[in-house]
Structure 1
Amino acid sequence: MMVKTMNVHGGNVHKASRILQTSLDQILDFSANINPLGMSAKGIDAVNDALHDVIHYPDPDMTHLFSITSELWDMPKECIAFGNGAAELIYAICRLPEITGVYVPAPGFSEYSHGAKSCGLPITEYKLHFDAELFRFSYDIDHMLQDLKQSTHQLVYIGNPNNPCGTLWTDRGPEIFDVCQENGHYLVFDESFIDFLGSTYSMRNYVRDYDNVIIVHSLTKFYAVPGLRIGAMMANPKVIETIKGCIPAWSVNHLAQVYSEQALQDTAYRKESLRLLETEKEWFYKELSQIESIRMVKPSVNYILGHLDDRYSLEDMIQFLYEQSILIRDCSHYTGLGSNWFRVAVKDRDKNEILINTLRKYIQHNRR
């Protein structure tokens, strides 16, 4: 039983369940970066109460959801839009008028390029700088400025934090905001994982000062509902209205709406999620880093990028884990990474220990 690893979002747990002839809850999916605490209990109750309402079309106005997010994000309602996950919004953004190309990070989320290709837009990749000694990635601000000064009307995607390496933008490179505005570029900050850090790391305040800043925000990662699909974006009202015209009607289903309304207001859930992650990601990173022939990038959020020593085969390691019903993310096809790079999500202590012990077994059995 061999596993074909591909550059997709994560492990297909449904396919793995069929191949391994086991239930979904028996599979440890470290390839998808979802809140280790799971779903909000208040959100689950809301979904259960609202299940009979699916006989009706979803509320296209989403009045309650707009009210909650406007207050939570300190953003006027007219500067917010929702979609069927962040990916749908990324595709819709690529349909903004006058865009001549898309500028994407390498490594970076594959949907930036897929969205560009769906619109026939040329893609330029900008590489993040890798410090081999410190074993971390950073944005090469000078290189980005040089490129952006020589081009016009680009969609400039910046992961904050960037997936899969976890690099944060924070407030570096303020000159880029002005250069992009002068040259007709849109600055698109993908903040799908920002809730794992807190609003102080977000670039959303720049929406008030720059008409060309767009924030993409996922609600499926922190609130643990990738199967429900809901994402948000923030931008100036004119951009929002244009983007809305590219999103199908009833894009956000009723259950996604009611779950999000309650989960966003579940302060106890948010606090416990952040407490769990802060403790577990540091412990997990330290333990993974102590495994022979594996080196990890220090995480900023709920996933960790790692590299397996070139003496070993990542494909073999993935196969070994797969046969133990464990999925991890193969990152070897990302531009800017190369062979033997992989990514794992942070889960709870019991699950993290299982992965650590299984990785140790693989290295012991295949030591070279």
Structure 2
Amino acid sequence: MSWPEHGAMPDALMKQLNQIRQDQPMDFSVNTNPLGPPDELYYNLPKWVLLSTQYSEPSLQTIKQAISEALNVKPDQVLPGNGGAELIYAAARLFQQKKVILIEPTFTEYRKALEANQAFIVPIYVSESSEWKWSFEHIKIYLENADGVWICNPNNPTGKAADHSELMKLLEYCKMKQKTLVVDEAFYDFQQEPFPFLTYTKNEYPVVQLRSLTKMFTIPGLRAGYMVASENVTHQLNQFFPPWNVNIVAEKAMSSVLHQKQFVEHTVSFISQERDRIKKELDHHTSFYIFTADVNFFLLCHRDFRDTKKLLVFLAENNIHARHTYHFPMLEGKYIRLAVRTKPENDYLINTLLRWNDEC
């Protein structure tokens, strides 16, 4: 048996914990929007499914145009993708047999994609003592002899966004030294004050932005995302994307959600309030510590013990699935990642953890 590689793998998690999966578990390992997709998406989905008898455009020009207009960039700066994973593996080709800085702990698919391209990975580790944040001065030491750097901002699994001042230093250095900066912004929309990478991508900074529509709009099964970069980069990578790589239903869904500003704002407000409420309740009344986060999930650890398997089992026995961290360097099972869910689900989580605190 082995730990599941990702969240949202309930059967694998239950098998590893030697538990029987219950009906309708509360899956706090899933970091999509707890409010679900926008109403417009639900309303239109049946008629979009009827279009699946047709081919989407091989070159996806219509959706490229829609994304470019929403972001105010050139269509040739956009590459739509079959979810974030396809974009990650495409961007990794930029570092084929090259040296790249990777900030750890982070999403494990980055390393896999880079290794598949024989990249020489130089890991830089952040820790609990720095609240999981990196500094430019630390990166700079290693970046001088590397071809680029790969970051996740906000980062998964820590939930932390880098300081804007550090990002600015990194951007300016990458432009001056012509180092490639790949930034995965899968959780961009959940931030209250996101860093405006797009401004710099438009102005010829060597930035490659990866964005997923899966998380905010709760459409992981449709696989929808896009890359924004210079025309030189998109031209270089476009040859590795097969025609029709985004299906017609996903294409329609992407066009629909690009202008859901009110939905996004409502989600951000809800997530922020619930995340703060969970932290306040557990920090004040238990031996758990909740790390501050900028998105819809957070790390939790216990102040007195650091192997979380017993806690994962207890939660599973109470029909709660949490995200283990045994695969992540610097985390190594000492923490669990929990998503912010609906208010009733969050209440149940709080009460369950309060019981653990009293009983264990």
TM-score, normalization by structure 2? 0.90
Q: 1:113 aligns with which of 91, 111, 114?
A: 111
In structure 1, distance between residues paired with 2:294 and 2:245:
31
Corresponding residue for residue 49 of structure 1:
47
In structure 2, distance between residues paired with 1:230 and 1:33:
16
Identity fraction in percent: 27
CA contact under 8 A between 1:285 and 1:304: conserved in structure 2? Answer: no
Corresponding residue for residue 120 of structure 2:
122
**Structure 1 residue 114, shift from structure 2 partner:** 0.9
CA deviations on 1:289-338 (whole Å, 9 max, x unpaired) are 23422101111111111112343641111112112221111124311233
**Structure 1 residue 130, shift from structure 2 partner:** 3.6
CA deviations on 1:104-154 (whole Å, 9 max, x unpaired) are 11111111101111112221111225437xxx22212111011111x1323
Corresponding residue for residue 101 of structure 2:
103
| Helix, strand or coil at the partner of 2:337 | strand
**Superposed, which structure 2 residues align to 1:208-357 within 5 Å?**
208-311=202-305, 313-357=307-351
CA contact under 8 A between 1:33 and 1:221: conserved in structure 2? Answer: yes
In structure 1, distance between residues paired with 2:150 and 2:36:
29
| Helix, strand or coil at the partner of 1:336 | coil
**Structure 1 residue 258, shift from structure 2 partner:** 1.2
Query: More deviation in 263-272 or 249-258?
Result: 263-272
Instruction: Label 1:255 to 1:335 Cα distance change in 2 as closer, same or farther (>3 A).
Output: same
Instruction: Label 1:349 to 1:257 Cα distance change in 2 as closer, same or farther (>3 A).
Output: same
Structure 1: unaligned runs, 5 residues or longer: none
Query: More deviation in 197-206 or 186-195?
Result: 197-206
Which protein is richer in helix relative to its size? 2
Structure 2 letter corresponding to 1:358: T
In structure 1, distance between residues paired with 2:224 and 2:186:
11
Q: 1:9 aligns with which of 6, 9, 16?
A: 6
CA contact under 8 A between 2:97 and 2:118: conserved in structure 1? Answer: no
Query: More deviation in 96-105 or 9-18?
Result: 9-18
**Superposed, which structure 2 residues align to 1:38-187 within 5 Å?**
38-96=36-94, 100-131=98-129, 136-149=131-144, 151-154=145-148, 156-173=149-166, 174-187=168-181
CA contact under 8 A between 2:55 and 2:248: conserved in structure 1? Answer: yes
Instruction: Label 1:16 to 1:105 Cα distance change in 2 as closer, same or farther (>3 A).
Output: closer
When the two chains are superposed, the root-mean-square deviation of aligned CA atoms in Å is 2.4
Query: More deviation in 92-101 or 277-286?
Result: 92-101
In structure 2, distance between residues paired with 1:157 and 1:56:
37
CA contact under 8 A between 1:159 and 1:169: conserved in structure 2? Answer: no
Q: Does 1:36 align with 2:30?
A: no
| Helix, strand or coil at the partner of 1:222 | helix
| Helix, strand or coil at the partner of 1:131 | helix
In structure 1, distance between residues paired with 2:13 and 2:157:
22
TM-score, normalization by structure 1? 0.88
Structure 1 letter corresponding to 2:8: G
CA deviations on 1:143-178 (whole Å, 9 max, x unpaired) are 1011111x1323x11221111222223532334334
Instruction: Label 1:86 to 1:161 Cα distance change in 2 as closer, same or farther (>3 A).
Output: same
CA deviations on 1:251-272 (whole Å, 9 max, x unpaired) are 2112111122212233442232
Structure 2: unaligned runs, 5 residues or longer: none
Corresponding residue for residue 205 of structure 1:
199
Instruction: Label 1:152 to 1:268 Cα distance change in 2 as closer, same or farther (>3 A).
Output: closer
Query: More deviation in 263-272 or 36-45?
Result: 263-272
**Structure 1 residue 22, shift from structure 2 partner:** 4.5
**Structure 1 residue 353, shift from structure 2 partner:** 0.9
Structure 1 letter corresponding to 2:77: C
| Helix, strand or coil at the partner of 2:165 | coil
CA contact under 8 A between 1:89 and 1:233: conserved in structure 2? Answer: yes
CA deviations on 1:166-202 (whole Å, 9 max, x unpaired) are 2223532334334334544210111111111267523
CA contact under 8 A between 1:64 and 1:261: conserved in structure 2? Answer: no
CA contact under 8 A between 1:43 and 1:260: conserved in structure 2? Answer: no
